[in-house]
A and B are shown apart, each in its own frame.
Chain A
């Protein structure tokens, strides 16, 4: 791993949202360079973590609304992996349902983000997060 490179892990089933996320990351001012790993659902994400024990991203973004293992379940599974205990997990959602917000924060998510309607806004949001991670 290149020093100072930020690794973020995105778990989202929606192809468009994955693309939007990538575009947003591109807009984030560098340094540092940002690497983005993508899993299309919870199960794939957990498998990736289990297959590579050295994989410890700087932050994880989990989409709430996924088929199969949904956002909450994925969050729960991630929290079970000991080496990821101090990795901040952010929930992403189209809506900010107060119940979901309450529950996921209680389960250990750092924040609950409502997906913005423009790539620029998302980019600013991410930039802010990455700044605080450094």
Chain B
């Protein structure tokens, strides 16, 4: 554009307006123009020429179209035509070509003025540069779009979190009455898990109140907890159940305050609840079983006592009278009769022993378990005293190592030693003096040849070793069973209860008993007592 063009070089004065108008128009920063009634633009102010650097000749009439951006030309021409025809105000935003080749947004307005002189409509228009505002609002729109996109991403992210958790998340808003008291809650949110678990569809319940959807919350105390949480702001926990598809589902709910309401996270605890209920039932059964067992034990105790007493009493009569007969009237009987009476007394005696031993066995089962720390050497001595008669008869020798002091039921251990040492003497080889050794050492559980041994425990091993007739190792377990004997009554007397009693006593003390035998060489009976912790 030639830079030496001056505004005074341009022709075109507005008709019937005078110089004043030009001066005013040239001072304005806006671009001012006028047009005839037919739309012929016949005046442009200084700003126009400074902006476009184009002469009047090029812009006049419809020449101004060349500085309008092609995108807006179509609409301008249509709207301009409409205004020219109707006389209505004209307004449009468009881009205007600057002398440097750039486009700037402009707001063009024009009104029709009736000329005072010839009543013709004359158009007066302004075009204001709005590029700054336009770019600003475009930037703003871009920002908004970007932020909206980000927000949508966050929302999706949040939704994905809320909808993939296994917990049910719900938000309720407090509903107040006229006095300001909370009387209900409105459901404002729930995640998908609610539908999955309860079948309730979100659109069906959003906006509804608890009273409509979960009336049970008003009877099971949960509503009160929600109110309390809103008022105090303190989080809370509760458990409740819901019936869906004929099944009872248990939930553990956590309540936190959210604005004027609460957010509840509910965890499905049906499995745990079922397990707990089952456990409680089993415990109940256990307690009941225990009661039955105790009762049975008591009954057994009295039964044993009565049975043994009632069995022994007639036996005693048989023995008393038959021994009397043999003592007083021997001479009047034949040898055979005397022999028969002998066998009667013998049989009756055996029965007596059997009943004595059975009673003993049952007494040991019904535990009198007051444990007292006792010196086992002392108990061993008492057992030896009790057996003094047969020890003397057989010239038996008993050598014993030092035994520890242990928490035991003294009379039971005495019985144990009596039975084992008694056996050692009884089952001795003919013509061989019984020699019995009692030894003691400590041993690790894992080295004990018994499945009852606890590998991590330590035990005292007390062994009773004899040089008697021994037994076959294959019977090592059988001999501890009730009524099990390896010999007939004619060879060695005995009831078959003695070792069963020993086993019971040892078990009462958390111990183990094992036997090792070698036929015609001897036997070893090992008793294991757990080594008690010395502290507490």
**Chain A 15-53 near chain B by CB (<8 Å), digits 1 or 0:** 011001001000000000000000000000000000000
Q: Are B313 and A118 in contact (CB under 8 A)?
A: no
Q: Are A20 and B305 in contact (CB under 8 A)?
A: no
Total contacting residues, chain A, CB less than 8 A: 15
* Distance in angstroms between the alpha carbons of A18 and B444 in the assembled complex: 60
* Distance in angstroms between the alpha carbons of A65 and B315 in the assembled complex: 16
* Distance in angstroms between the alpha carbons of A97 and B317 in the assembled complex: 20
Q: Are B320 and A117 in contact (CB under 8 A)?
A: yes
**Chain A 119-132 near chain B by CB (<8 Å), digits 1 or 0:** 11010000000000
Q: Are A119 and B312 in contact (CB under 8 A)?
A: no
CB distance from B62 to the nearest CB of A (A): 135
Q: Are A120 and B327 in contact (CB under 8 A)?
A: yes
Q: Are B324 and A23 in contact (CB under 8 A)?
A: yes
* Distance in angstroms between the alpha carbons of A131 and B349 in the assembled complex: 30
Across-interface contacts of A122 in B (CB, < 8 A): 320
| B196 contacts A by Cβ under 8 Å | no
CB distance from A66 to the nearest CB of B (A): 12
* Distance in angstroms between the alpha carbons of A20 and B324 in the assembled complex: 10
Using C-beta atoms within 8 Å of the partner chain, give the interface range for chain B.
Answer: 10 to 19
Closest to B315 in A: A117
CB distance from B300 to the nearest CB of A (A): 15
- Given the known inter-chain contacts A23-B324, A117-B349, A120-B327, please indicate yes or no for A95 contacting B309, CB distance below 8 A: yes
Q: Are B309 and A118 in contact (CB under 8 A)?
A: no
* Distance in angstroms between the alpha carbons of A95 and B327 in the assembled complex: 25
* Distance in angstroms between the alpha carbons of A16 and B312 in the assembled complex: 14
CB distance from A22 to the nearest CB of B (A): 12
CB distance from A101 to the nearest CB of B (A): 13
Q: Are A16 and B309 in contact (CB under 8 A)?
A: no
Q: Are B312 and A118 in contact (CB under 8 A)?
A: no
CB distance from A104 to the nearest CB of B (A): 16
Closest to A118 in B: B323
Within 8 A of B (CB), among A50-105: 65, 94-95, 97
Q: Are B320 and A118 in contact (CB under 8 A)?
A: yes
Q: Are B308 and A20 in contact (CB under 8 A)?
A: no
Across-interface contacts of B321 in A (CB, < 8 A): 16, 20
| B205 contacts A by Cβ under 8 Å | no
- Given the known inter-chain contacts A23-B324, A119-B324, please indicate yes or no for A97 contacting B316, CB distance below 8 A: no
Within 8 A of A (CB), among B317-354: 317, 319-321, 323-324, 327, 348-349, 352
Q: Are B305 and A94 in contact (CB under 8 A)?
A: no
| B359 contacts A by Cβ under 8 Å | yes
* Distance in angstroms between the alpha carbons of A87 and B440 in the assembled complex: 51
Closest to A16 in B: B317
* Distance in angstroms between the alpha carbons of A65 and B308 in the assembled complex: 13
* Distance in angstroms between the alpha carbons of A65 and B312 in the assembled complex: 13
Across-interface contacts of A95 in B (CB, < 8 A): 305, 308-309, 312, 359
Across-interface contacts of B309 in A (CB, < 8 A): 65, 94-95
CB distance from B457 to the nearest CB of A (A): 32
Q: Are B316 and A94 in contact (CB under 8 A)?
A: yes
CB distance from B472 to the nearest CB of A (A): 36
Across-interface contacts of B319 in A (CB, < 8 A): 117-118
* Distance in angstroms between the alpha carbons of A65 and B368 in the assembled complex: 24
Closest to B316 in A: A117
* Distance in angstroms between the alpha carbons of A63 and B102 in the assembled complex: 136
Across-interface contacts of B327 in A (CB, < 8 A): 119-120
Across-interface contacts of B324 in A (CB, < 8 A): 23, 118-119
Closest to A117 in B: B319
* Distance in angstroms between the alpha carbons of A65 and B317 in the assembled complex: 15
Within 8 A of A (CB), among B294-314: 305, 308-309, 312-313
Closest to B305 in A: A97
Task: Return the contact of B323 from the options A97, A115, A119 (Cβ within 8 A).
Answer: A119
Across-interface contacts of B316 in A (CB, < 8 A): 94, 115, 117
* Distance in angstroms between the alpha carbons of A95 and B304 in the assembled complex: 12
**Chain B 487-509 near chain A by CB (<8 Å), digits 1 or 0:** 00000000000000000000000
Closest to A20 in B: B320
* Distance in angstroms between the alpha carbons of A30 and B348 in the assembled complex: 32
Task: Return the contact of A119 from the options B305, B315, B320, B348 (Cβ within 8 A).
Answer: B320
Q: Are B308 and A117 in contact (CB under 8 A)?
A: no
CB distance from B42 to the nearest CB of A (A): 140
Within 8 A of B (CB), among A5-21: 14, 16-17, 20
* Distance in angstroms between the alpha carbons of A117 and B316 in the assembled complex: 5
* Distance in angstroms between the alpha carbons of A30 and B359 in the assembled complex: 38
* Distance in angstroms between the alpha carbons of A97 and B308 in the assembled complex: 11
Closest to B411 in A: A98
Task: Return the contact of A94 from the options B313, B348, B349 (Cβ within 8 A).
Answer: B313
* Distance in angstroms between the alpha carbons of A118 and B327 in the assembled complex: 10
* Distance in angstroms between the alpha carbons of A97 and B309 in the assembled complex: 10
* Distance in angstroms between the alpha carbons of A74 and B305 in the assembled complex: 21
CB distance from B240 to the nearest CB of A (A): 56
Across-interface contacts of A120 in B (CB, < 8 A): 323, 327
Closest to A23 in B: B324
Q: Are B352 and A117 in contact (CB under 8 A)?
A: yes
CB distance from A112 to the nearest CB of B (A): 14
Closest to B319 in A: A117
CB distance from B352 to the nearest CB of A (A): 6
The 3 residue pairs across chains A and B that have the minimum distance between CB atoms: A117-B319, A118-B323, A94-B312
7 A-B pairs whose Cβ atoms sit less than 8 Å apart in the complex = A20-B320, A23-B324, A95-B309, A117-B319, A117-B348, A120-B323, A122-B320
| B interface residues, Cβ below 8 angstroms from A | 305, 308-309, 312-313, 315-317, 319-321, 323-324, 327, 348-349, 352, 359
| A interface residues, Cβ below 8 angstroms from B | 14, 16-17, 20, 23, 65, 94-95, 97, 115, 117-120, 122
Known: A118-B320, A120-B323; 11 extra A-B contacts, CB below 8 A, are A20-B317, A20-B321, A95-B305, A95-B309, A97-B305, A117-B319, A117-B320, A117-B323, A117-B349, A118-B324, A120-B327
